[in-house]
Amino acid sequence: MRSEFLPFAPPLIGDEEIAEVAQTLRGGWITTGDRAHEFEERFRDYVGAEAALAVNSATAAMHVALAALGIGEGDAVVSTTMTFASTIHVIEHQRARPVLVDVEPDTLNLDPDQVEDAVKRTPEVKAIMPVHLYGHPADMDPIYDIAHRHGLAVIEDAAHSLPARYHDRVIGTPPPGFDQPNLVAFSFYATKNLTTGEGGMLTGAPAIVEQARIWSLHGMSRDAYDRYTSDGSWKYDVVLPGFKYNMADLQAALGLKQLARLDAMQRRRREIVAHYDDAFGPVEALETPYERPHVRSAWHIYLLRLRRERLGLDRDAFMTELRKRKIGASVHFIPIHQHSYYRHRYGLRPQSFPVAQREYERMLSLPLSPAHSDEDVDDVIQAVKEIVRDHPARMRTVA
Ligand SMILES: Cc1ncc(COP(=O)(O)O)c(C=O)c1O
């Protein structure tokens, strides 16, 4: 057994990142400035987007996206119950109403048929917010089609999905000819595939991204950086009651170096995923994650599902066993309909989300980070196999 606890998703930070942050510290400008703008440009080019706005979280990116699109009181937004709370919180922040749908059993991404039903029965819907869960893109063709037919914006929660591909498109760019607003929010939180500690990016068409930029910094018509540089002016106008969501140069310095090593980090992620798949694929009590054809997952999370009929312990007990063996697993996510705020406010019940509810009860996420060594991965495999071996399904008694 391991002597030290294996963290779930430690960041991979090298000397380059440390040197870049140190240089920024010494440079005299540490909040939003040249580094943040350079990071925006590099990121925009990496995903092939038209424009990018660096902010301090994916939550902020989604919030300013809704604000820039003018979505607010009296409006509704369709999203998924299987996500992190903040995807839905930002709809609440705007005083709009979230309309939640169930998910597809393989990817656990929102089910396009249910999105269509929700749109048809809710005339107030102004936008669809798909989440590319675990790094696997949601089924976007039917979602774009629904948005096109009903005149809806699409705001993608891509917190998990840098860099993912759907058909020949990188997540972060709209399909050619899509005629509705399309914004995509990425997260650089500490556990994400690319980290700036805390951070996020919004991509989309230049006009909306610029509107989002105003929302992201106090609603000021020019950003603080311009006010303090030699070619800037002290004058500014506040055109909106904006938020304080800008990304600091210190974070962007980290982001620039992380972006430069992203492809290498992704190769390591896929290597670990392949090890897990090889080890767990043949184990009948376990179900390994799916990658649909024509999709390239960003493999943010390795989802393991337990086949309860073949296993003598439930998910919670499985998590306890992993912890005893010093393996830091997690669960993504407790569905929104289970949280007391949303349950009470909208009267949500598990019966309305049978797939999410069933899969939630048998899912767990294994450690996955390019910072993990082969030995770490072997320890996880050994621990999981041991737990399965030691807890066979109970024999059914024949009457
Ligand atoms: C699916 C999903 N959406 C949004 C977020 C929020 O990201 P951030 O912490 O950058 O605001 C997270 C964070 O973990 C997430 O997992």
244-293 residue pLDDT tens: 999 999 999 999 999 999 999 999 999 999 999 999 999 999 999 999 99
**Ligand 1 centre and the CA of 20: distance in Å?**
25
Of the residues 126, 192, 257, 324, only one is catalytic, namely 192
Concerning whether 385 is annotated as a catalytic residue, the answer is: no
Question: Does residue 336 have its Cβ closer than 6 Å to ligand 1?
Answer: no
Task: For residue 106, give every residue at least 6 positions away whose Cβ sits within 8 Å of its Cβ, in sequence order, or none.
Answer: 290, 292
CB of residue 187 inside a 6 A radius of ligand 1: yes
pLDDT score for 227: 67
What tens digit of pLDDT does each residue of 348-396 get?
999 999 999 999 999 999 999 999 999 999 999 999 999 999 999 986 6
Neighbouring C-alpha atoms within 13 Å toward the C-beta of 126: 16
Which residue in the block uniquely carries the two structure tokens 């860099």?
A: 163
pTM metric for this prediction: 0.96
CA distance 350 to 357: 6
Mean pLDDT for 26-42 is 96
Give dist(CA 109, CA 106) in Å, integer: 8
**Average per-residue pLDDT for the chain:** 96
3-state secondary structure of 289: coil
* SS3 label, residue 61: helix
| pLDDT tens for each residue of 176-189 | 899 999 999 999 99
Rounded mean pLDDT, 77-83: 98
Percent of the chain with pLDDT over 90: 93
Does residue 398 have a pLDDT over 90?
no
Report which ligand 1 atom has the smallest distance to the Cα of 59.
Answer: 11
Residue 57 CA: which ligand 1 atom is closest? 10
Q: Give the model's confidence band at 225: pLDDT under 50 very low, under 70 low, under 90 confident, else very high.
A: low
Ligand 1 touching residue 255 (CB < 6 A) = no
- What's the pLDDT at 23? 97
Q: How far apart are CA 45 and CA 59, in angstroms?
A: 22
Distance 223 CA to ligand 1 centre (A): 26
Domains in the chain and their CATH numbers?
A: 15-260 (3.40.640.10), 263-390 (3.90.1150.10)
Closest Cα to atom 7, ligand 1: which residue? 58
- The pLDDT, as a whole number, for residue 318 is 98
How far, in Å, are 15, 232, 321, 329, 363 from residue 386 at the CA level? 37, 64, 10, 15, 18
In the prediction, which pLDDT does 223 show? 59
Beta-bridge partners for 82: none
Among 110, 187, 334, name the best residue to mutate to test ligand 1's pocket (greatest count of ligand atoms within 8 A of Cβ): 187
DSSP string, 93-137: HTT-EEEEE-B-TTT--B-HHHHHHHHHH-TTEEEE--B-GGGPP
Residue 235's pLDDT is what? 82
Residue in 53, 84, 194 to alter for ligand 1 test, most ligand atoms within 8 A of Cβ: 84
164-176: average pLDDT: 92
CB proximity list for 36: less than 8 A, separation 6 or greater: 54, 246, 247, 248, 249, 251, 252
